[in-house]
Amino acid sequence: MDLISSFAHHFGKQPTLLSRAPGRVNLLGEHVDYNDGLVLPVAIDRTVRLAAAPSGDEIVSLFAIDFGEQVSFKLSELDAKVDLQGQPLPGWALYPAGVAWALNADGLSVSGMQAAYTSDVPVGAGLSSSAAVDVVFSITWQAIGAWEADRMRLARLCQLGDNQYVGIACGLMDQFASAHGQEGHALYFDTRSLDWEAIPLPSDVSIVIADSGIRRALVDSEYNERRASCEKAVELLRQYKADIQSLRDISPQEFAAYCEFLPPVIRQRAEHVVKEIARVQSAVVALRLNEKKSFGALMYSGHASLRDLYQVSTPELDALVEIARGLSGCYGARLTGAGFGGCTVNLVDESHAPKFMRDIEDAYLRQVGQLAQVYLCRASAGACLEWLS
């Protein structure tokens, strides 16, 4: 049953609009967006798709097709995080409820609606399925409310909902990429100034994602601990560089001078962030010069840093990266997303991509004893909407 038919079957009427928002894969710049850093994500051709119609009241009724679950809640009771029966909202419903909460907090009108949605972005795989949900609901409420807001404002409000309503201390990169994606381009995004630039990807290179099959619950993981470590590093480094506001303000050279004054674990976390920001800057230069091997070397270096310094990799992710390193046509590989499970991203020569995909799947099964889902992705456009009537 397709999306429109599912909506009609569930709600007994036709939807009035369709919307979609993509997931993302991050080529470089991991765990730096909440440190005011530079990132290089790509919106991918895996999306959350939503069908909706205004309800004419303050009730939001959601049908999560992939879970086979439904919930309804009142917009006037968002702070309570409960459904119409007074029961706690299920985890999956906190994301759209958080978007409604953030839009309201910013003075943007949010009205009741009925919505059914589905996704082919793997959940918990590090491809920002939750950010895609955030963004698709934000543009849908914008359309229904007929108010003006640019995509950056929407992305920031989606982040606010995740931070303060859902309870995930995420940065802005994921929502930004889902809202701003451009076909065939990576997005060079400064998370401090919010300046960004779309940079063409080489036409003869494929993006291959390998899903380790290992899942993590982001709220319950050590993600928030990593962020706290970065904030502690900034606090301690202010003794030596008084004007520092975030780890973005420390160059690799300065960090080499000051790092000995940091406790060992905090030093490791901060070293990753400082050097990862520098890697993104080098990677953008490599992209502009079409130096694919240089770009790939930076990906491998980034993975080693995430593994050894930030300690967010897993044996399965490490295995995928090492397998990729030994396969023909692979320029670079690294884990993508928060880590603790999920996927690797691989930059592969287009002519080698089909064999690469077969080989990495076979080798992973032999070495790890688990099947990896491997798929080709295109850099795609950001969120969009279509009125049906």
Active site residues: 174
Which residue's structure tokens are 């679950």? 69
Sheet holding 343-349, edge to edge: 330-336, 343-349, 205-211, 373-377
- Distance CA(42)–CA(24), nearest Å, equals 5
- Distance CA(21)–CA(380), nearest Å, equals 10
Which residue's structure tokens are 């962020």? 227
Radius of gyration of the chain (CA): 21
Residue 148: both structure tokens together: 């003006």
Report in angstroms the alpha-carbon separations of 224 from 35, 170, 217, 218, 326.
Answer: 13, 8, 12, 9, 34
Nearest CA among 386, 371, 300, 335 for reference residue 209: 335
